[in-house]
Amino acid sequence: MSETLLETRSISKDFSSVYVLTDISIQVIKGEILGIIGENGAGKSTLMKILSGIHVPTSGEIIFEGKRVHIREPLDAKLLGIGLIPQEFNLIRELTVFDNVFLGSELRRRDGLLDKKAMMAKTRALLSELNVDIRPEERIENLSTAQKQMVEICKAVSIDAKLLIMDEPTTVLTQYEIDILFRLMRRLRDQGATIIYISHKLKEVKAICDRVIILRDGAVVSTEKIEDLSIIDMAQRMVGRELNQVFPAKGTPARDVVLEVRNLTVPGVIEDISFELHRGEILGLAGLVGAGRTEVAETILGVRKAEKGRVLINGKAVRISRPADAVANGISYLSEDRQGSGILVNFSVIKNISLVSLSSYCRYVLKLILRQKERASAEAHARRFNIKAPSLDARLEFLSGGNQQKVSLAKSIDSKPTVLIADEPTRGVDVSAKQEIYRLINSLASEGLACIFISSEQEEIIGMCHRVIVMRQGRAMGSLEGEGITEEEIIYLATGIREGVA
């Protein structure tokens, strides 16, 4: 017997007269896991923010448990029993885990003071139910990204939510943690909870959801039982066109070594990392979250101090103690943390693209910026990268994640580097933008750019790289090449089941 828990009737939302949602009518059935998928900018997050009271719809109605409700602020949603696990963490770094879990719904003793003991005990129970090993009295700032995600989930579960909304919860989780999360989701569903699951990862949606709703350009394009949709169907309906080959054909790298890393060591972080990178080569760094891949990049860039080891460019040893030195030596970085260290959201497209290479647009002692030259260069990038923006003077906060990432990539290569370190270049990016980023990196490589490609997604590594170094606990476990790059081999090396030849 399927009973409707929540229904939206013709919900629309505009931001300063730009419609992001039009006429959305969906039903959420009690006790199901409902997947909502769509490209970046399709309106998934906006819809969820409406359901959880962060945004108020411009028009339309929300029916919850048969009654019309008005959700004007997050507290209204909480009182109805709607819990949101947002895409960006919403935790207070300085407080403990249990403080955060009970933030806004603290338990109090009869004398009015906080009942820390009870909160700690309840948090401990919730955490052990989630099967995660975190102490309730640990401070958030000491936790890893994946652990923070678990705390977010714990927080949402703690209010005994009737409807739990998860916005891209697995972006930062390892496969092991994803399995735990899925087991937990199934158990919650079997206990009667209803879950809305938003994701880009169609494989996961296929694995966990009962039904799926596909959004495109702010409208519902289809609602199906999961059995009736293949992953390819989902992708095609999201994009609205046939998807051809995802990965472009690999080029052939040249013989000459452009970058050589020898015995790079940062105590406790990375251990004795050595490799060579050829012109036009895409070298993958694979491994689980926390294996030290980003740390290798940060050490090469001079953000971390190497205790031992050398970096050679075109055969010459160079000293790099900060990213500015790396750029001067032709090494560029595309950050995994787009908003944290990649782009400036309140700068325009043009100003972001030219940020690293600004000196080449300047003249005279005062370093006056040649604005026409700067604009022309940004226009060229926008065309080549197919960047969709209201205008090149629009601030990046108004662009979708995929377009922000393309700007970030344009910014990284505008300094015409010889080596590009691309760290999770497609994180939080939709299918079609992903495909474009693959195509771009591939064509840059065929023009001679050497690329270090860091990714947690196996398909990407397999589809893009000429060679792969698999890391585990800060060490290179082995290297795979050509046809030898397979999902199984990567997993074996990444989990330490097999040790290869580094």
Partner 1 sequence: MANSAIARALKRFEYQKYASFIALVVLFVLSALLSPFFLRPGNLVNILSQVSYTGMISLGMAFVIITGGIDLSVGSLVAFDSLIGVMFMNYVMGSVHNELVAVIAGIIAALAVGALTGLLNGITITRGRLAPFIVTLGTMAIFRSLALFIGNAGEIQSQSNIYGAFGLVNILFLPVPVWIMLALALVLDIVLNRTRYGRYLCAVGSNSRVAVFSAINVDRIKVIAYSITGALVAISSVLLSSRFNAVSTSNTGMGYELDAIAAVIVGGTPMTGGRGTIWGTIVGAIILGIINNMLNMLGVSAYLQGTVKGLVIIGAVYIQRQRA
Q: How far is the CB of 426 from partner 1 (least distance, A)?
A: 19
Least distance to partner 1, CB of residue 349, Å? 14
Of 347 and 492, the one with the shorter C-beta distance to partner 1 is: 347
Q: What are phi and psi of 158, to 5 degrees?
A: -65, -25
CB 52 within 8 A of CB 82: yes
Report d(CA 188, CA 104) in Å as an integer. Answer: 23
The answer to whether 449 and 417 are in contact (CB under 8 A) is yes
CB of 440 to partner 1, least distance (A): 20
State which residue, 99 or 374, has the beta carbon closest to partner 1.
374
H or E stretch covering 123: helix 116-129
> With respect to partner 1, which residue has the nearer C-beta, 421 or 476?
421
For 70, what's the count of Cα atoms within 13 Å in the CB-facing half-sphere? 3
In the numeric block, which tokens belong to residue 166? Answer: 């998860």
Question: CB 360 → partner 1: shortest distance, Å?
Answer: 10
Q: How far is the CB of 502 from partner 1 (least distance, A)?
A: 29
Q: How far is the CB of 391 from partner 1 (least distance, A)?
A: 12
Measuring CA to CA, which residue among 417, 404, 400 is closest to residue 356? Answer: 417
- Nearest to partner 1 of 26, 326 (CB atom): 326
Rounded Cα distance, 476 and 429, in Å: 28
Cα 294 to Cα 276: distance, rounded to the nearest angstrom: 17
Q: Supply the minimum distance, in Å, between the C-beta of residue 374 and partner 1.
A: 10
Q: What angle do CA 380, 381, 386 make, to 5 degrees?
A: 105
Q: Which is nearer to partner 1, 37 or 327 (CB)?
A: 327
H or E element in which residue 410 lies: helix 401-413
Sheet of strand 419-423: strand arrangement: 331-334, 419-423, 450-454, 282-286, 467-472, 475-481
Consecutive H or E run containing 298: helix 293-301
**6 contact partners, CB below 8 Å, separation of at least 6:** 27, 28, 51, 62, 63, 64, 65, 163, 194
Summarize as ranges the residues that interact with partner 1 (CB under 8 A): 16-17, 301, 303, 322-324, 326-328, 333, 335, 340-347, 351, 355-356, 358-359, 362, 366-369, 371, 411, 415
Q: Which is nearer to partner 1, 238 or 392 (CB)?
A: 392
H helical segments located in 332-370: 349-353
Nearer to partner 1 by Cβ, of 315 and 340: the residue is 340
* Strand ranges of the sheet holding 257-266, from the earlier edge strand across to the other edge: 270-278, 257-266, 308-313, 316-318
Cβ nearer to partner 1, comparing 414 with 489: 414
Which residue's CB is nearer to partner 1, number 358 or number 502? 358
